[in-house]
Amino acid sequence: MNPHHDGSALYVPDQTPALGDTVPVLVRVPAGTDVERVHLRTTPDGEPTFAEATVDRRTDTEVWYRADVQVRNPVTGYRFLLTGRRGRRWLNAAGVVGHDVPDAGDFRLVTYDPPPAWIRDAVVYQVFPDRFARSAAAADRVAPDWAIPCDWDTPVIGRGPETPRQFYGGDLDGVAAHLDHLDRLGVNTLYLTPIFPARSNHRYDAASFDRIDPLLGGDAALARLADAVHARGWRLIGDITSNHTGDAHEWFRAALAGSAAERELYYFDATGDYESWNGVRSLPKLNWGSAELRRRFATAEDSLLRRWLRPPYGLDGWRVDVANMTGRRGADAYTHEVAALLRRAAVQTRPDVLVVGEHGHDHTGDLDRDGWHGTMNYVGFTDPVLSWLKDGDAEVPNFLGTPGGVLRRSAPEVLATMDAYRSMVSWRSYTHSWQLLGSHDSARVRTVVGDAARQEVAAGLLATMPGTPMVFAGDELGLTGTNGEGSRTPMPWHRPESWDRGTLAAYRSLLALRRAEPALRHGGLRRVHVDPDTLVFLREAPTGAVLVLARRAPGVPVRLTGLPAATSVYGGADDLRPDATGTLVLPADGPTFQVWRLAG
């Protein structure tokens, strides 16, 4: 094992530092490692500074070094210089390297107000309202003129002009009627994709932000759902589009009619043409250079961002759609300013609010500022996990916009991808981001991995790796889909015989395990073995540790030294006992997912 440090409480006891604080940080060095001295390197005000670490404690198997970080800047970076008989190496957030590295990969202490404490214990469940469930009242609603009415069993059209027009009629009272399913699954946070009026089934083309779509039951239905969610002690997250509105939005219609107040909210040129999201004319882009937009959207007491966070609705946070493009257009670069503005307005409205920004590719430059608490971690979790577990015969074209779809990769390549993105943000941003196996914008996990066994491995990683797990409604039943639109499958409540009961049981057990083991919610991440088909890692916290084995295929037994006995807590394998040489031998079968709780 290599020397190790991460941002968890085992290594950074002060998890919420303030400017001017002195924060102790610790490095774990396994016995026999070529490390004789450890220096801390920080860059206060941009100038490198070194301080020698001291030995904090020794055990039979390792040495712990301690150093103090002076929190000089709102984001204070640090790394460690390890010196031994064979030379010097760096330990930064990407791991141990023998070459010089830029500061961008340093560990980080962040002093901006922390995310709400509840999110570290959250399991998020994503619902696409049109496809989740209909209440009895839905039968009396007339489909709008843009819609193609569908029966609940009508096949979803995954691509084409009819795709956004298919209307199944799910509503918010239908969601409320199935909260027991979420409870049995083990989730405690409900995230709804947009619920404002629109001219599509996805509703990202909002026609207003001032009311809830009557097709979903209107404002009263949201209030009823919020009451039901909060009565269980859960949280409710909404979805807001900060980058654009729909072309039917009342603001945009007024702008087209010549109103100067609304015209400045968008980008119009001298010919009267306007900027839109990726050239989609129905999604005109908002201009965050407008003070009036900032007032209407966030800063005014009656702004849309604030209104829905207050009673009787009481949303507990926002997922911000297309956060990566918000405020970016040519020379305009308002993104970080807008992120801070939205977060500040939300937190002023209710201090325990969560603000998560959607980002489908490299999110690292937009976190660790006074803005988004985290992101939807497609690039640092979804894509690498699915590429490792991909069924070799599965055809998943254009996954998240990348030509060629999901590539099949080995575990070292997958870990390199994860490390590349994890090392560019603070531990705080990483652990408060949503880790997901898919969403309404991607292929279904079952389609990519091909079978229940590999989906269980994927779900195991979702439940045991750092971050906030997010489950897309229907994944727990084994639903399929080759792209985002095709994955928006109606929940088959009326056909329970179609459910994959084994997958559902696995999700329930894995999420229960996460609730039962504090180390899975609050612990660090230390990898102890990797080969092309196998990942083995530890989640360690001051309260205890667990050992995790994930295999995509059978292999040779993994042999680990320096660890105590361990009790099986998931997967049905035997308990582990060190042999005469002090070695733990992990099983070789696969695909498999196994978890043990370490003694002591």
Return phi, psi of residue 107, to 5°. -60, 155
* Amino acid at the residue 545: A
Query: Mind spelling out the 3-state secondary structure of 406-420?
Result: CCCCCHHHHHHHHHH
What pLDDT score does 400 carry?
A: 75
Give helix 452-464 / helix 501-516 axis angle, nearest 10°: 20
Q: Which residues contact 343 (CB under 8 A, 6 or more apart)?
A: 355, 370, 371, 372, 373
Q: How far apart are alpha carbons 138 and 217 in whole angstroms? A: 8
Q: How far apart are alpha carbons 436 and 585 in whole angstroms? A: 31
Taking only the tens place, the pLDDT of each residue in 455-482 is 999 999 999 999 999 999 999 999 999 9
What pLDDT score does 395 carry?
A: 77
Taking only the tens place, the pLDDT of each residue in 272-312 is 999 999 999 999 999 999 999 999 999 999 999 999 999 99
Q: Is 366 a catalytic residue?
A: no
Among 106, 171, 239, 358, the active-site one is: 358
Q: Which residues contact 2 (CB under 8 A, 6 or more apart)?
A: 30, 33, 95, 96
Q: How far apart are alpha carbons 78 and 520 in whole angstroms? A: 25
CA distances (Å), 227 to each of 23, 119, 128, 137, 230, in order? 41, 19, 19, 19, 5
Taking only the tens place, the pLDDT of each residue in 503-538 is 999 999 999 999 999 999 999 999 999 999 999 999
Q: How far apart are alpha carbons 80 and 82 in whole angstroms? A: 6
Residue 283: count other Cβ atoms within 10 Å of its Cβ.
24
Q: Is 358 a catalytic residue?
A: yes
pLDDT at 407 over 90: no
Can you tell me the mean pLDDT for 412-435? 97
* Amino acid at the residue 528: V
Is the pTM here over 0.75, yes or no?
yes
Can you tell me the mean pLDDT for 554-573? 96
What pLDDT score does 406 carry?
A: 84
What pLDDT score does 494 carry?
A: 97
DSSP 599: P
Contact 375, 434 (CB under 8 A): yes
294 by Cβ neighbours in 10 Å (0-12 / 13-18 / 19+) ranks as buried
Q: How far apart are alpha carbons 165 and 144 in whole angstroms? A: 10
Q: Which residue has the tokens 């015989």?
A: 497
At residue 277, the 3 state secondary structure works out as helix
pLDDT at 394 over 90: no
Distance of CA 198 to the CA centre of its chain: 26
Per-residue confidence band for 399, with pLDDT thresholds at 50, 70 and 90 = confident
Contact 108, 368 (CB under 8 A): yes
Q: Which residue has the tokens 């994944």?
A: 475
What pLDDT score does 263 carry?
A: 97
- Taken in order 356, 517, 114, 209, the sign of the CA dihedral is positive
Per-residue confidence band for 49, with pLDDT thresholds at 50, 70 and 90 = very high
**Mean pLDDT taken over the chain:** 96
What pLDDT score does 393 carry?
A: 77
What pLDDT score does 276 carry?
A: 97
Query: Mind spelling out the 3-state secondary structure of 448-475?
Result: HHCCHHHHHHHHHHHHHCCCEEEEECCH
Question: Dihedral, CA atoms, 104, 106, 111, 113, nearest 10 degrees?
Answer: 70
Can you tell me the mean pLDDT for 438-467? 97
Q: Give me the count of residues in the chain.
A: 600
pLDDT at 95 over 90: yes
Per-residue confidence band for 136, with pLDDT thresholds at 50, 70 and 90 = very high
Among 130, 173, 321, 540, the active-site one is: 321
What pLDDT score does 402 carry?
A: 79
